[in-house]
Structure 1
């Protein structure tokens, strides 16, 4: 089985920022409280990933 490989055109930090912006807009537009909480949870995970990635690049 051959792996599908491709190069990323944007950095991980940029992709996380785009994802966070998209999810933040969805959370602002959400009317259902349960859906909004789920989106905010995903946003916190993205922020944590961004912080973790930033720390790894500083240490490297």
Structure 2
């Protein structure tokens, strides 16, 4: 018997979720003292910001025209 996937309708866009994740990670990093945990949170924020930027580039009209 196969397991049914848990599907969820997203109410917030992918770009907005990435920005929220980056902001949350930066806010969490500010609360932490200097050390590996803080660096991990800052890295997570940078990764989310980078992903948002890549998503923005890939969603640009010039990229949409290139797919056709």
Report the TM-score when normalising by structure 1. 0.88
Dislocated runs of 4+, deviation >4 Å = none
Q: Which runs of 5+ in 1 are unaligned?
A: none
Aligned-pair Cα RMSD in Å: 1.1
Offset of residue 32 of structure 1: 4.2
Structure 1 residue 42: deviation in Å? 0.6
Larger Rg: 2
Superposition pairs of residues 20-59 of structure 1, within 5 angstroms:
20-58=22-60, 59=63
User: Unaligned stretches of 5+ in structure 2?
Assistant: none
Structure ranking higher in helix proportion = 1
Equivalent residue number for residue 16 of structure 1? 18
Higher relative contact order (CA 8 A, sep 6+): 1
